[in-house]
Structure 1
Amino acid sequence: MSDALFQILGMNWNRELFPLPLQRGEAVRAVKRYLKSLPQFVWEAAQLEGNPYTFPEVQTLLDGITVGGRKLSDTQQILGLRDSMKLVAQTVLDGSFAVSKRMACDLNALIARDEALEWGQFRGEGREMSNVSVALGYMSYQPKPTEPGGKNLTTSFEAGISALNAHVTDPSERALP
């Protein structure tokens, strides 16, 4: 089962390392804890992108105070990450959160706004047709090629979601990828 799942997803994890099922609680309580840790999550995501903001600077910016000497693009990236994480919290609370193409595009529109050539859509759905390489921290990834209309990426995304739903029953584990 895992081999087929991991082949479809194009990534894997050691399922033995996760004590599942995890204890579940109320969404309201989970979101409160999530929002309390928001500066940490934003800072960690920004570090993966090579953003030079320090953790105290992220806290300051999220408190509504500008940080002198920082590039506007770095500041906008921090705010985009914050906005995307708040969207996740809001949709969990109102019951509309779903792992879907629409949600992925909405989050990308907030995170990549003014940073990527196009945002809020899958590669190939707009005018930009270049192929990309993705760098995260010390790792890099060569995604599938860009094709006009983005059908290959949409198909891969939908296959991944279907595989997760079919092979991974615990929502905590489904959240890992």
Structure 2
Amino acid sequence: MTLFDALGFRWDKSAVPTSVPSHSIDRVCFRFHKMLPEFVWDASVLEGRHGNDGLPRGLSPGCSRHSVCEER
């Protein structure tokens, strides 16, 4: 018995794409940094911390530097 059979997990391996697009590390880091505030927000909501409860005073989820936040 295979692991997938034991777990009751079925999938069609032929449906998985064989060629996956690759991007430069710079592009990947750029996209990650653009999505980071959303990741933080989603995690805080899942933990029950709505709004800015879990963030340091004076920072909002979209701030990248403290000095930028103070200008808002």
Structure 2-normalised TM-score?
0.49
Query: Bigger radius of gyration, 1 or 2?
Result: 2
Q: Higher RCO, 1 or 2 (CA under 8 Å, sep at least 6)? A: 1
Structure 1-normalised TM-score?
0.24
Structure showing the higher helix proportion among its residues: 1
